[in-house]
Amino acid sequence: MTDHASPPPAPRGAVPHFAGLGTGAKAFLILSAALLPLALIAMFAALQSGRTGENSARAQLRVAAAESSRRLAIEMAGDTNAMRSTLAILARDPVNAPSCARLSGVFAPQYAAGTRFAVYDARGTLVCGTAIDTAGLNVPRGSMQAAIVRNRGLLIGIGGVRRENAFVLFPAAFLEEISRPTGFTTDHGARLTLDGQSLTLRQLDAGGPLDRRQRVTTPIGVDDLALEVTVPSSPFTSAVLVAMLLPLLMWAAAALITWFVVDRLLIRPLRGLRASVAAYVPGEPMVLPTDQSDVAAAEIRELGETFRSITQTVMEHEAGLAEGLVRQTKLTREVHHRVKNNLQVIASLINFHSRGATSSEVAAAYASIQRRVDALAVVHRNHFAEMEVSRGLALRSMIGELAANIRATAPEGSSHLGITLEITPFLVSQDTAVAVAFLITELVELAMGASSNAQHRISAREDQVEGRGLVRVVSSAFVASPTLESLLTHRYGRVIEGLSRQLRSKLHHDPMTGAYEISVAVLGIE
């Protein structure tokens, strides 16, 4: 019993899609999956490094903004305190000229920068300083308010206890000079914000659409006034994009390069070698692909050379086998030729001795022996003719030649012997042909013994079982009779039974119609 290896179980889930991919695609996917985490880690590290730089720049911005707001607060606090002192003195002595002189001395260094101040008594009369457009600023008693005057500067007003008012106008250029942080070389912008209004102290150049900025707002301590400092952040340029995407680009490049190397060194040479093996013709040396011999891996080239060496060895071995087969065929043909010639010599000797027979019984015995020798000779002659193609023996030509020999050697009392043939052109093996030839000869001998002038019909047709043929011999001599029973019992019965066993089939006899038939193995039809 032959053991058949069971096929491997079919993969489940997403595995069939991966298993159906080519080796190059599998290698690319595996390498991509292996290198992608490293690329992501490198990209995140680059992002974190950028964030660290931005945090450091933001910390420096906070320090600079705190310094600027502190300098502004100190300057404004000194000026406003001086104005409060003057208001307090004027409230007690409205004509106190020295207090106005001291206040003028406080603001004297700022006149060149455009700073102006004004002090008004309870009646709104200017008593000190320069008249200033207060922009409708109404300051309650004992409080301080600030207002941003568009295109002019920052206005701060202080209310006295008797409705005296003091105002100071700081121009934007002066405030910018005061608020400039020391040692801060980064280009920056600054502005004061109050109640939704703003005063630009330092303008920052407009950037591109990808530019980014960082802002820090610090309260000054005067009313709700605050200082907002803006610096340009690291621009989102193509270099930044490349720095961020470089790990991913390196990941893709590494996967593609590795896939390319694997494909050129391994996959393509293996495909070429597989094509050469598939195109291999037995009996010819295998032709290796030459277009990839320089880039293929050394192991694959060695494998190809091994295949070629094996095919060369097989070709030489097949040539030796073919030569031996030719010698064996010639020897077999010679053997069959010699057997055929020897049988013909024996038949001739039997015929020669039959001519010198002293009685008809002896002559009939010689003729009977000669017909059996002729039957065997016919088989060898037909087998000798069919050896070139080795298809098998042609049953129709063999039975036709056998019938002609039987009619030629029929005894004198059987001069009206007739044999009709209806033979399907079957092909049979030599063993089957020998048994069929002897069986037909014995049956015809039996018929001639039972009735010398009986007519015979020999047929061969397809059986109901595939690969089998039905050989049938019909004669009136086979109808049940004492003579037929006597011949079967004493002479022919055991012989034809032995031949049927040799054919591995049962010989059927129909005594009513006078027919013998047997099923034999056939190789095919001509």
pLDDT in tens, the chain (526 residues): 444 444 455 445 555 666 666 666 777 777 777 777 776 777 776 666 666 666 776 777 788 778 888 888 888 888 888 888 888 887 777 767 788 888 888 888 888 888 888 888 878 788 888 888 877 778 887 788 888 888 788 888 888 877 788 888 888 888 888 888 876 666 777 888 888 888 887 887 766 555 667 788 888 888 788 888 887 765 555 555 666 677 777 777 777 887 777 777 777 777 777 777 777 777 777 777 765 556 666 777 777 788 788 888 888 888 888 888 888 877 877 777 777 777 777 777 777 667 666 777 777 777 778 777 777 777 777 766 665 556 778 888 888 888 888 887 777 666 567 888 999 988 988 888 888 888 888 888 888 888 877 888 999 999 888 889 999 999 988 898 888 899 888 888 888 899 899 888 999 999 998 999 999 999 888 7
Q: How far apart are CA 433 and CA 441, in angstroms?
A: 12
Provide the residue type at 43 as one letter.
Answer: M
Q: Count the Cβ atoms, other than its own, within 10 Å of residue 119.
A: 24
Helix (H) or strand (E) holding 199: strand 197-202
Terminal-to-terminal C-alpha distance of the chain: 34
In this prediction, residue 5 carries a pLDDT of 46
Q: Are 436 and 426 in contact (CB under 8 A)?
A: no
Provide the residue type at 213 as one letter.
Answer: R
Q: How far apart are CA 331 and CA 108, in angstroms?
A: 140
Kindly give, in sequence order, each residue whose CB lies less than 8 Å from that of residue 188, ignoring residues fewer than 6 positions away: 61, 64, 202, 204, 229, 230, 231
Kindly give, in sequence order, each residue whose CB lies less than 8 Å from that of residue 390, ignoring residues fewer than 6 positions away: none
Strand pairing partners for 230?
Answer: 189, 215
SS (H, E, C) 58-115: HHHHHHHHHHHHHHHHHHHHHHHHHHHHHHHHHHHCCCCHHHHHHHHHHHHHHHCCCC
- The rounded Cα 137 to chain-centroid distance in angstroms is 81
In this prediction, residue 470 carries a pLDDT of 93
In this prediction, residue 15 carries a pLDDT of 53
Going from N- to C-terminal start, the domains of the chain cover: 23-232, 389-525
- For 266, 279, 337, 402, 424, the CA distances from 380, given in Å and listed in that order, are 60, 42, 8, 12, 21
In this prediction, residue 4 carries a pLDDT of 45
Question: Whole-model pTM above 0.85?
Answer: no
Q: Count the Cβ atoms, other than its own, within 10 Å of residue 37.
A: 10
389-525 maps to CATH 3.30.565.10: yes
| DSSP reduced 3-state for 161 | coil
Q: Are 190 and 172 in contact (CB under 8 A)?
A: no
Q: Burial, 441: exposed, middle or buried (Cβ in 10 Å; 0-12, 13-18, 19+)? A: buried
Q: Which of 404, 337, 342, 332 is nearest to 373 (CA)?
A: 342
Provide the residue type at 351 as one letter.
Answer: N
